[in-house]
Amino acid sequence: QVQLVESGGGSVQAGGSLRLSCTVSGYSRTEYVMGWFRQAPGKKREGVATVDSSGFTSYVDSVRGRFTLSQNNAKNALYLQMNDLKPDDTAVYYCAARTSGGAWYFLSRPSDFPYWGQGTQVTVSS
């Protein structure tokens, strides 16, 4: 059974930083796409950053240069370092995984990810 568990959300002021973590179990990471998605109230879920098994990483334009996705394969973990946070970054952030594909292609296709974590709230105040 595949399980993804996020942690690290919280409340910060604009300009602050947070680091999200996602631990993965029950998942064979030979070929994969994993990533971070977010959903703000009243908005569709959107891709934030994805990485595929070749190591290619893709970011949505609004976070490029501020957020960094990294992974620790030995720990089956995925991270999202978020710097210079803005109020528009306020959302529930989700970790997701699928067993094939490319990071760029699936960044905008959250519905194609079968495995999801429970989400962690990130609130940025101005």
Whole-number pLDDT of residue 41 = 93
Q: Contact, 91 vs 38, CB < 8 A?
A: yes
- What pLDDT tens digit does each residue of the chain (126 aa) get? 889 999 999 999 999 999 999 999 887 767 899 999 999 999 999 999 999 999 999 999 999 999 999 998 887 899 999 999 999 999 999 999 999 899 999 999 999 999 999 999 999 999
What's phi and psi for 75, nearest 5 deg? -100, 5
Could you give the CA distance from residue 6 to residue 122 in angstroms, rounded to a whole number? 12
Q: What SS3 state is found at 119?
A: coil
Could you give the CA distance from residue 22 to residue 78 in angstroms, rounded to a whole number? 5
Could you give the CA distance from residue 19 to residue 90 in angstroms, rounded to a whole number? 14
Q: What residues contact residue 12 under an 8 Å CB cut-off, 6+ apart?
A: 18, 85, 122, 123, 124, 125
Provide the pairing of β-strand 46-52 with 10-13: unpaired
Strand runs labelled E in 9-90: 10-13, 18-25, 33-39, 46-52, 57-59, 67-72, 77-82
Whole-number pLDDT of residue 74 = 81
Whole-number pLDDT of residue 30 = 79
